[in-house]
Amino acid sequence: MFTSCSSSTGLFSRRDFLGRASQWSALTAYQLLPLPALAESFAADSRVAQAPIVDKGFASVRKIGDGLYATISDTSKGLQTMCNGGFLFGKDAALLIEGFVSPAGASFHHETLRTLSQGPIMGALDTHYHFDHVTGNAFYGANGISLWAHAAVSKRIFDSYGAMQGMDKAAFLRPLEGRVKNARSEVARKHAAELVATMGNIFGAVNSTVLGFPNRPLDPAKLPVKLDLGGLTALVETYPGHSGTDLIVRVPEQNVVYAGDLLFNHMYPVTFDEQATVSGWRSTLKTFLSWDKDTIFVPGHGQIAGRDGVQLFADLFDDIAAQAEKMYQSGVPAEDAADQYVVPDKFKDVAIFAWHLSIGATILKLYKEWGAK
Ligand SMILES: [Zn+2]
């Protein structure tokens, strides 16, 4: 759907088209951060190839195990994929992970798999319903690749992004702009303005896509499921935390986990989702930390991680919770506390997707959890 028809005749002008094409021009700080290099701890790990098999700038694909590959995005170089994903294949079949933010991103991913394996593709799996993991889904539909996801994903894509399509952008952003205008402090104003820019970008991504819906819903009550790809066994599991629809793909025999957005590497947790749960997420991280100490994690965003990446992520939750609890005890109202967290020096280089979608949202959720007690 077009969103900014400027002529009264209802015809779409060239300006509308250019407007759509440049939706991503208001880049937020997070999108400009270059991807960190692969951690040195992987230099001695025989599972991990030291060089990617292909590097397109916006994403590269690296071997991380026998039949296991990670697709890692670098948003500072382009936004075709935006999130991470990967693919795995055995003697009989392959599984692709993530729909990415655009069909071009999903296409690159699929094309790379095809340079390594021409066998049947069991499906492509969305780790959850968020736009940056699904707005490239149409590529799979167009190519007859079945699309797997948590059973709630289709409805949540429809409710969140179907509703956004065809909406007037100015009307969509107006309430958020009101927050900027009414901000009670400079820092609150800054965070509110960042939210407007980020939501404008999300609106742009959603409105420049044909939504693709999973046709292979996985009932969370029936998980985990075991996938036999031929000499390679993968488990699809669900855990609470980020979106209420989160799946991971785990290969226990090789200690490799495709974690989706249940793990962000070197980035504050994104907890804005109405079904995100801070306590649930922190317990999921305990589970991740209980696995073999050499487990490789492909996070939803950021570089490939080891156990230390999971530990850092848990530490970020702990720090937000510690600061929030002090504010809660001394009676700081939730809306004020959401802006007042101070990033400690040791976390200064940790990325923040958008303050109110991550740190602010985490504080509000913690306040709710405590208030409910
Ligand atoms: Zn997400």
Question: What's the CA gap between 112 and 116, in Å, rounded?
Answer: 7
Distance 223 CA to ligand 1 centre (A): 20
Distance 44 CA to ligand 1 centre (A): 31
Query: Mean pLDDT across the stretch 39-62?
Result: 95
Helix (H) or strand (E) holding 157: helix 153-157
Residues in the chain: 373
Query: Mean pLDDT across the stretch 106-122?
Result: 97
Query: Mean pLDDT across the stretch 261-266?
Result: 97
Q: Which pLDDT score is estimated for 11?
A: 52
pLDDT exceeds 70 at position 334: yes
pLDDT exceeds 80 at position 373: no
Query: Mean pLDDT across the stretch 184-192?
Result: 94
Distance 353 CA to ligand 1 centre (A): 11
Q: Which pLDDT score is estimated for 9?
A: 41
Distance 119 CA to ligand 1 centre (A): 30
SS3 284: helix
Residue 143 and residue 212 in contact, taking contact as beta carbons nearer than 8 Å:
no
Domain chopping of the chain, boundaries: 29-371
Distance 224 CA to ligand 1 centre (A): 21
Residue 347 and residue 316 in contact, taking contact as beta carbons nearer than 8 Å:
yes
Distance 242 CA to ligand 1 centre (A): 7
Tell me the C-alpha to C-alpha distance, in Å, between residue 84 and each of 40, 45, 53, 124.
20, 21, 16, 14
Query: Mean pLDDT across the stretch 112-126?
Result: 98
Query: Mean pLDDT across the stretch 341-350?
Result: 96
Which pair of tokens denotes residue 27?
Answer: 């880049």
Tell me the C-alpha to C-alpha distance, in Å, between residue 165 and each of 36, 103, 168, 319, 322.
34, 17, 9, 37, 39
Distance 312 CA to ligand 1 centre (A): 19
pLDDT exceeds 80 at position 158: yes
pLDDT tens readout for residues 309-332: 999 999 999 999 999 999 999 999
pLDDT tens readout for residues 265-292: 999 999 999 999 999 999 999 999 999 9
Q: Which CATH number fits domain 29-371: 3.60.15.10, 3.30.70.100, 3.40.640.10, 2.60.40.1120?
A: 3.60.15.10
SS3 125: strand
Residue 308 and residue 296 in contact, taking contact as beta carbons nearer than 8 Å:
no
Alpha helix (H) ranges present in 164-218?
Answer: 169-181, 186-207
Residue 120 and residue 84 in contact, taking contact as beta carbons nearer than 8 Å:
no
Distance 243 CA to ligand 1 centre (A): 7
Please choose, from the candidates 282, 278, 302, the residue with its C-alpha nearest in 3D space to the C-alpha of residue 353: 302
Where does the pLDDT of residue 99 fall: very low under 50, low under 70, confident under 90, or very high at 90 and above? very high
Q: What is the dihedral of CA 273, 278, 279, 284, to 10 degrees?
A: 80
Where does the pLDDT of residue 4 fall: very low under 50, low under 70, confident under 90, or very high at 90 and above? very low
Q: Which pLDDT score is estimated for 248?
A: 98
How confident is the prediction for the chain on average, in pLDDT? Answer: 92
Looking only at Cα atoms, what is the longest distance across the chain? 64
Alpha helix (H) ranges present in 243-341?
Answer: 278-290, 307-329, 334-340
Which pair of tokens denotes residue 183?
Answer: 């901000």
Question: What's the CA gap between 301 and 179, in Å, rounded?
Answer: 28
SS3 257: strand
CB count within 10 Å of CB 57 equals: 11
Where does the pLDDT of residue 337 fall: very low under 50, low under 70, confident under 90, or very high at 90 and above? very high
Q: Which pLDDT score is estimated for 7?
A: 37
Residue 71 and residue 35 in contact, taking contact as beta carbons nearer than 8 Å:
no
Q: Which pLDDT score is estimated for 5?
A: 37
pLDDT tens readout for residues 5-43: 333 344 555 444 444 444 454 456 667 788 999 999 999
